[in-house]
Amino acid sequence: MTTVLDNPEKIKQIDKSNMLNDLAKTPDYCRDAIERAKQVNVPEGVNPKNIVIVGMGGSAIGGELLQGWLREKLPIPIEICRDYTLPAYTNKDTLIFANSYSGNTEETLTAFLTAIQRKCTVITVTSGGQLAAFCKKLQVPHVLIPSGLQPRVAVPYMFFPLPVLMQKLGILSDIEPELQEAIAVIEKVAKANAPAIPLNKNRSKQLATKLVGTMPVIYGFRQYIAISHRLKAQFNENSKVPSKSDAFPELNHNETVGYEAPEALNKMQSIILIRDSREPPEIRNRIETTTDLVLTRANKVLEIEAEGDGKLAKMFSVLCLGDFASVYLAILQNKDPTPVDIIVKVKKELAKKSGMKERFDSELSKLG
């Protein structure tokens, strides 16, 4: 079968900003992120009672990945804050990671300033902007990462510094083997799904081909809830299609009833189930029962099987495959995956109305 996905020249014409090349560099970004975090001096004597990771979009997903990975490992609660306001409980016993790729995300900057006022321990990850300027003037530890990437491509820089910093703070230990296995699996998946690998041997191309003309609906569980959110966002931003995500077992208490909708509506959806060879029996039973009784009403039911041994490696194996699939789906629709024109327009309109930039500039000037 002839497909545009096996035509390198046509791919280059559509993928004008070469996002596929950025995806291929993901393992290098992971290694660089780790090394940059290792160079950061962190405060001593930090013993947080809770951790809050502040960020939006691609800058928030790193925190969500951390939360999912450590859910059954770390006794300290982790919360993701995708808003201007911090939870009321945040105080001097809170560790705040403020992630903003651009450094100019108004929600993150607002929450960052609140964290400083509440005397939280604050560490940031950014490529520059006003957040980096605040960190320099306030002497807040920060991981400075490369600029010039799309924030969603920079997820390695938004995730890998966090566990490294937590190890430096004494919150985590012995993480190196898990981090290195994750990078090795990312490298393997990236090579197996590269543009040069033909459709008949390329799982990401196969997945994208099956999704054409439908809305991807991704279902995960536990640590894969973050991955389902990531894939949903990638189909939105890269593929330029509606998408949604949900999680077992919660979806059995509400989402499944939605499949009583008219057949024509159900047939617009393609279900993607994230699977794991070691998934708990109670979750496996729910996935299989729900598929048999409900999900077959959709256009199709597809599965992504996690690869690797450790939890983190498995998470990133699915993430990496989904990233490639979202770009291939864009190419199949003759869409350049990189531009996000609507997001840019919304931000510009909000900037005109909010006055946030002027407020942050004023705050910076007060610091001298």
Pick from 96, 99, 17, 106: which is nearest to 58 by CA?
A: 99
> CA 255 to CA 175: how far, in whole Å?
36
**Order of strands across the sheet with 269-275?**
244-248, 215-221, 269-275, 300-305
> Is 64 one of the catalytic residues?
no
Instruction: Give the CA count within 13 Å in the CB-facing half-sphere of 7.
Output: 13
Nearest to 271 by CA among 232, 321, 216, 234: 216
Marked catalytic residue, from 210, 244, 347, 357: 347
The catalytic position among 253, 348, 352, 353 is 253
What are residue 116's phi and psi, to 5 degrees? -65, -45
DSSP string, 44-77: SS---SEEEEE--THHHHHHHHHHHHHTTT-SS-
Q: How far apart are CA 31 and CA 21, in angstroms?
A: 17
Identify whether 347 is a catalytic site residue. Answer: yes
Of the residues 64, 106, 237, 307, only one is catalytic, namely 237
Distance separating alpha carbons of residues 228 and 58, to the nearest angstrom: 13
Alpha carbons 341 and 306: distance in angstroms, whole number? 33
State the Cα–Cα distance between residues 260 and 265, nearest whole angstrom.
Answer: 10
Euclidean distance between CA atoms 208 and 206, whole angstroms: 6
| Among candidate residues 5, 11, 73, 327, the one with its CA nearest the CA of residue 223 | 73
Alpha helix (H) residue ranges in 118-258:
129-138, 155-159, 161-168, 176-192, 203-211, 224-237
Complete DSSP assignment for 143-168: EE--SSS-TTTTHHHHHTHHHHHHHH
253 catalytically annotated: yes
Helix (H) or strand (E) holding 244: strand 244-248
CB 30 within 8 A of CB 319: no
Kindly list the catalytic residues.
237, 253, 347
